Structure 1
Amino acid sequence: MDKIPISVFIIAQDEEQHIARVLDSCQQFSEIILVDSGSSDNTKSIAESKGAKVLHHDWAGYAKQKQYAMSLCKNDWVLNLDADEELTPDLIEAFKHFISSEHDFVALKCRRNDLFIGRFFSKLTRLPTNTRLFKKEHVQYYINNLVHEGPEIKGKLKHTNKFFNHYGYSNIDQLTEKYNKYSTLKAQEKFNKGKKPSLLKLILIYPLEFIRNYFIYRYCFSGFRGFIFANLSAYYALSKEVKLYELSKTSK
């Protein structure tokens, strides 16, 4: 059976808990690149046993690390995944159909299905989207972004409702740790760009973000788990703003 002519690239460090699962889901693709930034666990040996080409690159930040990993890919079509993700058969079929069809799209945006407190969210929930498959010549990561690094797509983008599974939010401790890290980076990024804190945003961001997630994105259909997740997402949004406020007061 011929491999799908897509290069998968993953950046990772100390991901032995997850790495086998994501690589097992990528075996139909012709190339798998893993850029490791200094794992002290079995991430590299597991990845090599799954057929990945493993290279070391000192941590340069999310955007630069992904840009470097993408530059190593030999195929025109590339697929970016995180170590704590997993492709589904339906999404792989969507990828195959997308790259083999005649069209002028340069990227495909898909859905992300998050595991949270032991279960995936209700099928009635509006799943978040991520752009993961694209032609590398039409993509540039946002090098100046410390988090939420892109990619920036130069061309037409198509959407699919097919999803991949994400295990990085599986428990509250894991999710809040990520939110704390990302909110710090995002606040610093905003500060570096000269953005100022807004009193109105500080007051309104939490309730508006909760309403958006719980009602508009329909996490309300996931019971108490959805209520908890909507609150944590709102707190994440607030954290970015209060940390920007803190930076504005302490960095003079």
Structure 2
Amino acid sequence: MPATGSPSWSHRSPQPNGANTGALFSPRRHKPCWPVSGSGGRLPSWPASAAGCCECRDCSCGGAGSRRDRMSDWSPISVVMITRNASATLPVALGSIPAGAEIIVADADSTDQTVPIARSFGARVIRQDQDPVAAAGGNFDLARNKAMELARRDWLFILDGDEQLVPALAEEIAATVRTGQDHAAYDLPRRNLFWGKAVRLLGEDRQIRLLRKGRGRYVDRCLHCPIRIDGPVGHLLHALIHHNVTGLQDVVRRFRRYLPIERQTRAPAASRHAALRHILRMSRYYLLRQEAWRDGWQGVLASCIFGLYHGLAQWPRKK
């Protein structure tokens, strides 16, 4: 979806038969092609050590550190987050936010310790009027827009409950806000981890997460749609860590939550046999064509899970 004053892009990488990993996982992206002013039309590269992340492949430490240890000034920024039963990953996400930021958590009737955890970090918790998964066919836009409207600061940063800021990114954001560049928003790379490891199949994707208040809004009414920005979009260097899949329980939870939504937007297969063939075809595509096997058991498992997800999303509906 094009953003006003910014380049058009798709967050969906090409897959056979138009398939995409969709809401469950972040698919492997091609290298981003947006130019940066003064870079000769190329995005600048950045070494892993300078990106604020450890040099080990799994990035398990994330390099986050304590929230109160940050030197970054986030007082002009409101962090916006929507949650539902995110107690397993929420402490890491909230603990990575620099001191001084306003934190707004829009919670969708969590039954675990999500709300107490959020409040323990000083977050202002608002309860969503209705579960965004059930509303508008899985539209999260209502909750995000409401939370952004309630923000009191001039800048907004959108963070999910399974993501983590690293110090270098936090400092870059603080410096960007402080210099007051003429951009309505900024995108950044997001490093996706599978079972704690960076795998080829997930790779990195770029998403708009930092924006001026009132200059962006979610409007497309689809699952994980990009935000529409009114104005030019700049580019940040350092990556946000996304703990995409952390274990089997996480996979089951995502299947239960997102598959009913995906099935509303996918054309059903002609038969169960066709859906099963699609599972095998997609798993083979990820494992061999995308070379997921190079990442060991995590890559093999990711290929099987992705293929299964696609097949179930197109499973014939009961008449």
Q: Report the TM-score when normalising by structure 1.
A: 0.76
Kept in 2, the 8 Å contact 1:124–1:221? The answer is no
For residue 222 of structure 1, the aligned residue among 273, 292, 295 is 295
Higher relative contact order (CA 8 A, sep 6+): 2
Counterparts of 1:43-58 in structure 2, within 5 Å, are 43-58=114-129
Paired residue secondary structure (1:230): helix
Distance 1:154 1:87 in 2: 25
1:164 is the counterpart of 2:240: yes
Return closer, same or farther for 1:122/1:30 CA change in 2, 3 Å cut-off: same
Distance 1:163 1:206 in 2: 32
Is the deviation greater in 65-74 or in 53-62? 53-62
Return closer, same or farther for 1:77/1:213 CA change in 2, 3 Å cut-off: farther
Gaps of 5+ in 2: 1-70, 133-139
Gaps of 5+ in 1: none
Paired residue secondary structure (2:245): coil
Distance 2:198 2:298 in 1: 8
1:134 is the counterpart of 2:211: yes
Return closer, same or farther for 1:42/1:77 CA change in 2, 3 Å cut-off: same
Return closer, same or farther for 1:220/1:161 CA change in 2, 3 Å cut-off: farther
Same amino acid, percent of matched pairs:
24
Counterparts of 1:1-252 in structure 2, within 5 Å, are 2-61=73-132, 62-99=140-177, 100=179, 102-104=181-183, 106-116=185-195, 119-122=196-199, 126-142=203-219, 144-145=221-222, 147-160=223-236, 162-188=238-264, 190=265, 196-197=267-268, 206=279, 209-210=282-283, 213-214=286-287, 219-242=292-315, 245-246=316-317, 250=319
Aligned-residue offset at 1:77: 2.2
Q: Report the TM-score when normalising by structure 2.
A: 0.62
Distance 1:105 1:181 in 2: 33
The Cα offsets for residues 215-250 of structure 1, whole Å up to 9 and x where unpaired, read as 6765443212112112212222232222xx41xx62
Flag the structure with higher strand content. Answer: 1
Return closer, same or farther for 1:17/1:98 CA change in 2, 3 Å cut-off: same
Flag the structure with higher helix content. Answer: 1
Paired residue secondary structure (2:204): coil
In the alignment of these two chains, the number of paired residues is 238
